[in-house]
Amino acid sequence: MLRLAVLVSGSGTNLQAILDGCRDGQIPAQVVVVISDRTRALALERARQAGVSAVVVRRRDHADQQGFDQALSKACAAAGVDLVVYAGFMRVVGSHFLEHWQGRCINVHPSLLPAFPGLDAPAQALAYGVRITGCTVHFMDAGVDTGPIILQEAVPVEADDTPERLHERIQHAEWRILPEAIRLFAAGRLRLEGRRVQIANEG
């Protein structure tokens, strides 16, 4: 069974979707460790509720990005992880982490990339005035939200949207495409060809 590390910073609703999917047999995988950079992340409580080991790795406890990367990488390796999932982990990934995990590390982002990378993507989309935004699951690379795209789902913007309301609808889409991307990875159906991710047919 595929062994997952889920990296979180906040409320952990994506983590919950993954935990539920694993529990119900929708995702043939097991969350073996949840890693947070914040001691008070609600996501840590969700991990404990599910009986999953929860670890805090704070940036401020490390002198530089390299030290932080190495601590993250060590926590994943110690748990025998096959795939690292950034699920609302609000930290950049450094080259020392990627050296080990590139191709085995995915991220969910609340926009249709390459539009609106970085922080506050739903607010960026509203401010720009797009009619359609959404979410993206992609492999991590050294850029900010630039890696090869695995899945996307569109979400229409409504006239009276606030960033919070729009983000909430985007998150419902995230809870579908993030578990689905993990399922595809677990089934060995994702193949990277340059920037493009090919999804092999089932069976």
Number of residues that bind ligand GAR (CB under 6 A): 16
Tell whether residue 14 is a contact of ligand GAR (CB under 6 A).
yes
For residue 85, what are its two tokens?
Answer: 């999932």
Query: Does 110 interact with ligand GAR (rule: CB under 6 A)?
Result: yes
Question: Which C-beta is closer to ligand GAR: that of 115 or that of 187?
Answer: 115
User: Who contacts 191 (Cβ-Cβ below 8 Å, separation ≥6)?
Assistant: 197, 198, 199, 200
Among 108, 113, 173, 177, binds ligand GAR (CB under 6 A): 108
Give, for 33, the enclosing helix (H) or strand (E): strand 29-36
Determine, following the binding rule CB under 6 A, whether residue 146 of this chain makes contact with ligand GAR: no
14 touches 26 (CB < 8 A):
no
Q: Using the rule CB under 6 A, is 136 a contact of ligand GAR?
A: no
> Site for ligand GAR (CB under 6 A): which residue of 46, 91, 109, 138?
109
Catalytic residue among 109, 138, 167, 172: 109
The per-residue DSSP string of 55-105 comes to: EE--GGGSSSHHHHHHHHHHHHHHTT-SEEEESS--SPPPHHHHHHHTTSE
Binding of residue 147 to ligand GAR (CB under 6 A): no
Question: Which is nearest to 14 in space by CA: 46, 62, 37?
Answer: 46
Binders in 86-105 for ligand GAR, by CB under 6 A: 87-88
The answer to whether 60 and 39 have CB atoms below 8 angstroms apart is: no
Q: Is 174 helix (H, G, I), strand (E, B) or coil?
A: helix
13 contributes a contact to ligand GAR by CB under 6 A: yes
Stretch 34-73: interaction string toward ligand GAR, x if CB under 6 A: ---------x------------------------------
CB 71 within 8 A of CB 62: yes
109 is catalytic: yes
Q: Which residues are catalytic?
A: 109
- Contact residues toward ligand GAR (CB under 6 A) are 8, 10-14, 43, 87-88, 108-110, 121, 145, 171, 174
